[in-house]
Amino acid sequence: MEVAKPEKLSLVVHRPGDLSLDNYPIPEPGPNELLLKTHSVGICGSDVHYWQHGRIGHFIVEKPVVLEHEALGTVIKVGSLFKHLKPEDRSLTKKKKKKGHTTGHVAVIHLSLIHI
């Protein structure tokens, strides 16, 4: 019998005007990623454009997109190449490249991080 992976609730835009709360499995962080227990998540102008217009600049929503890149939280796990953060550190994400999923509670992020 296969054990179910824990899931995270995520705010997802599917097309202009179409938002939903969807569950996604929580992945293990890769070598350049970390697992962050999110305490707060901001909604920025990019997120509003994805939701209202289905695009921002050249990026067009063609498949579900998790709105997620401004988060504050506590590190739970770090990948093998992460050297400047460790579990229990508090961190603030700063978007450079969208790679992971931020949720209301747990996130896997591949972003520039600021130790606070």
Q: Where are the domains of the chain?
A: 7-115
How far, in Å, CA of 22 to CA of 73, rounded?
21
pLDDT digits (tens, 9 = 90+) for 17-69: 999 999 888 888 888 888 888 888 888 888 899 999 999 989 899 999 888 76
Residue 108 clears pLDDT 60, i.e. is over it:
no
CATH class of the structural domain 7-115? alpha beta
Q: Which residues of 65-96 are buried (b: 16+ CB within 10 A; e: fewer)?
A: bbbbbbbbbebbebeeebeeeeeebebbbeee
Residue for token digits 């972003």? Answer: 111
